[in-house]
Structure 1
Amino acid sequence: MADGPEAPGAVPLGRPSLGDAELAAVAEVFRSGWVAGAGPACRAFEEEFAAACGAGHAVAVANCTAALHLALLAYGVGPGDEVIVADYTFPATGHAVLFTGATPVFADVRADTATVDPAAVAALVGPRTVGVIAVDTAGLPADYAELGELTERHGVFLVEDAACAAGATYQGRPAGSLAPVAAFSFHGRKGITCGEGGALVTDDAAIADKARKLAAFGLESAWTRAGRTELPVPVFDEPGYNYKLSDLAAAIMRVQLARLPELLARRREVAAGYAALLADVDGAALPREPADRTGSWQSYAVTLAPGVDRARVATLLREQDIGCNFGTYASHLQPVYGPREACPVSAGLFHRQLAVPMHAEMSDTDVERVAEALRKAVENSR
């Protein structure tokens, strides 16, 4: 997915890897007659995705925000509660807390990984704290050993916002298995995609059942009722949502999931190419993976030195039809949340990070072109 209409020869910030296999899967759903949500393609994808995440259950939903909202509802979060949220993230993470009537409390992040700092989380735990949402920033898992011990000690829940992290690992375990509940995104900029979509993943059958019910208006899905000979008349005993993923999207996701190893391998090659070509650039710090984890490389964001004009770097790249954007948001600075305590590391990253093209469709020539253009842009933007 590019920033706008893609010019010939352009290198977009992102581009989905979709082809004939995905089209064939959609055609099969057309022929089946069931294109709505939570049908047979969804059920098959849920089983496959749960297995890929090393978890017992997956619930396919419309987007990651829905998955986060359902997770919080399953934990009973409501007005008067506080949920600690990693600050450096797309604000949908904090929005999901607002949806429940609870208050998001933003925790600062590590400067080297941009993932939530466990020490910052520990300092924010208070009498109203009911849980923590960690974020796998740009697909790099957070410090789940420390976060798991902290949340267990305080008796609060831990949710993994793995929106960008399909295929990532932490201490040998796959994203999706790093907290009791995880939420994924299948948006067009993610490593595997059906345009929009998401999933809640958990080992807890009760949480999965609650999420599945709430995702379908608070009812058993129409597909599970369709094969009965009697006439079931569902009863609404609690308000639910229309968060289902269509079977058309699920069919695409089944193909994308099977292709995840190849797509992730290419992203890692692109990241390695950038690392080799940009290692000696003065004024741009490159992303890194700690030894105990691997990222999905959903994005490749360089951190520009304070003396480098990020806006000018972006302009110079875009003038050459090379896509770029800021990294993500320092959520505590967004007006929707009102005044919040400062998160200085997150704020610094928000103002200094620049994401450059990263996707599995990039050629080696694209990588070389972007690296050379970025090198010159940084040199000319001091």
Structure 2
Amino acid sequence: MTDVVPLGQPTVGEEELAAIAEVFTTGWLSGAGPSCRAFEQAFAATVGTAHALATSNCGSALHLGLEVLGAGPGDEVIVGDYTFPATGHSVMWTGATPVFADVRPDIWSADPAAVEAAITPRTVGILAVDPFGQPADYDELRAIADKHGLWLMEDAACSAGATYKGRPAGSLADVATFSFHGRKGITAGEGGALVTDRTDLADHARKLHTYGIEPALTREASTDLPVPSFDEAGYNYRLSDVAAAIMQVQLRRLPTLLANRRRAAAEYAELLGDLELVTLPVELADREHPWQSYVITLDPSLDRGVVATELRARGVQCNFGTYASHLQPVYGLKQQLPVSADLFARHLAVPMHANLTSEQVRTVATAVRDVVTAPTSRR
């Protein structure tokens, strides 16, 4: 039977198991405990922000960020269109309306000109997305936001370890959010984080993520019996201390994990760079790409479904890239965003993870070359 090259794979082992065992000895397994606080401090230092808040997932972090920035009914938030719909959903959760902006054809993040063209009197902010980890054009987006009196938020779900003009992803906007889902560069299976330099936003987000009161850890050293009162309806968006222990180990692994992904990306570029029917992803000179995914663009003459089926038959896992959000029925939109729609139709993600060996990269590259050049893959 053909060995399967997985599309994604976490890098976890004995260190993570030891960290979990250590949490078990403390008796504090639930959320927002000492392990979470230790991870938050380390993560804030890594991304270069004053504050970090560990959350149950990136969707909850997005929702918290939008809430504390003040998005609500009657407002519009401009969102980079080429993204998993959690980004647009999070805007809807606040009662605001997502307005999607078309994206750059090369790095797939929001085109600043399209963002500015989408601004209306109801616009309150810009929610930029870093597709597959490479940061968007934050200097240009910040200038637009400042010009129009808007806030700027970064969906950095895939971006742990990325940089933009020497600055870490997460430090590029008023608020940023990360994902620690199983396919991300660092992972606890699930989880997320909200980061910001603003103490007021961080404090409000921490309150909202524990039903609207201060987490129990803040009352742990009290000499009396404080009874918190609820003056605001919040959520249960806490990350468990078990997951936070895993994330502390993953964060220490980050430099090695990034190096392994970058090596694999360079090998793909060398092995597939001359293939006329495939356009490879690019890394701009002023950014460091964390390569959360490796997504190729197929020539319009190719049938993506056939290509995917043939690759899987050869043991190479693959999938579409991500979504042209404006085309999803949940939003009920009639926008026409041709660049994002074209990417949605032609992108194909091939295996990318930190465990990927050079031999596996060669296996994938050979399969891609054979399949896309086969007459049966043409429309």
Shorter-chain TM-score bucket reads over 0.9
In structure 1, what is the equivalent of residue 36 of structure 2? 42
Task: Write out aligned runs for 1:179-190 (5 A).
Answer: 179-190=173-184
Q: Relative to 1, partners in 2 of residues 1:220 and 1:264: Cα closer, same or farther, differing over 3 Å?
A: same
In structure 1, what is the equivalent of residue 114 of structure 2? 120
In structure 1, what is the equivalent of residue 223 of structure 2? 229
Give percent identity, aligned residues only. 64
Structure 1 residue runs of 4 or more that deviate by more than 3 Å after TM superposition: none
From 52, 72, 90, the equivalent of 1:58 is 52
From 332, 335, 343, the equivalent of 1:341 is 335
In structure 2, what is the equivalent of residue 241 of structure 1? 235
- Cα deviation for residue 8 of structure 1 reads 7.1
In structure 2, what is the equivalent of residue 108 of structure 1? 102
From 303, 318, 332, the equivalent of 2:326 is 332
In structure 2, what is the equivalent of residue 355 of structure 1? 349
In structure 2, what is the equivalent of residue 274 of structure 1? 268
In structure 2, what is the equivalent of residue 290 of structure 1? 284
CA RMSD of aligned residues (A): 0.8
* Gap regions ≥5 residues in structure 2: none
From 189, 198, 206, the equivalent of 1:212 is 206
Post-superposition Cα deviations, 1:253-290, rounded to whole Å, max 9, x if no partner, equal 00000100000000000000000000111210000011
Post-superposition Cα deviations, 1:225-270, rounded to whole Å, max 9, x if no partner, equal 1232311111000100000000000000000001000000000000
- Cα deviation for residue 112 of structure 1 reads 0.6
Are 1:94 and 2:88 an aligned pair?
yes
From 278, 289, 305, the equivalent of 2:299 is 305
In structure 2, what is the equivalent of residue 20 of structure 1? 14
Post-superposition Cα deviations, 1:190-226, rounded to whole Å, max 9, x if no partner, equal 0000000000000000000010000000011012212
In the aligned structure 2, how far is the partner of 1:232 from the partner of 1:181?
A: 31
Are 1:376 and 2:365 an aligned pair?
no
- Cα deviation for residue 341 of structure 1 reads 1.1
Residue aligned with 2:106, SS = coil
From 347, 350, 361, the equivalent of 1:367 is 361
Post-superposition Cα deviations, 1:99-124, rounded to whole Å, max 9, x if no partner, equal 00000000000001111100000100
In the aligned structure 2, how far is the partner of 1:122 from the partner of 1:377?
A: 41
In structure 1, what is the equivalent of residue 132 of structure 2? 138
In structure 1, what is the equivalent of residue 145 of structure 2? 151
| Amino acid of the structure 2 residue aligned with 1:178 | L
Are 1:261 and 2:255 an aligned pair?
yes
Q: How many residues align?
A: 376
TM-score by length of 1: 0.97
* Gap regions ≥5 residues in structure 1: 1-6
- Cα deviation for residue 85 of structure 1 reads 0.3
In the aligned structure 2, how far is the partner of 1:33 from the partner of 1:118?
A: 49
In structure 1, what is the equivalent of residue 69 of structure 2? 75
Residue aligned with 1:104, SS = strand
| Amino acid of the structure 1 residue aligned with 2:85 | P
In the aligned structure 2, how far is the partner of 1:326 from the partner of 1:255?
A: 30
In the aligned structure 2, how far is the partner of 1:230 from the partner of 1:349?
A: 59
In the aligned structure 2, how far is the partner of 1:284 from the partner of 1:301?
A: 10
In the aligned structure 1, how far is the partner of 2:133 from the partner of 2:334?
A: 26
In the aligned structure 1, how far is the partner of 2:285 from the partner of 2:144?
A: 22
| Amino acid of the structure 1 residue aligned with 2:171 | S
- Cα deviation for residue 294 of structure 1 reads 1.1
Residue aligned with 2:154, SS = strand
Of 234-243 and 217-226, deviating more is 217-226
Equivalent pair of 2:2/2:314 in contact (CA under 8 Å): no
TM-score by length of 2: 0.98
- Cα deviation for residue 340 of structure 1 reads 3.1
- Cα deviation for residue 339 of structure 1 reads 1.9
- Cα deviation for residue 82 of structure 1 reads 0.1
In the aligned structure 2, how far is the partner of 1:64 from the partner of 1:301?
A: 21
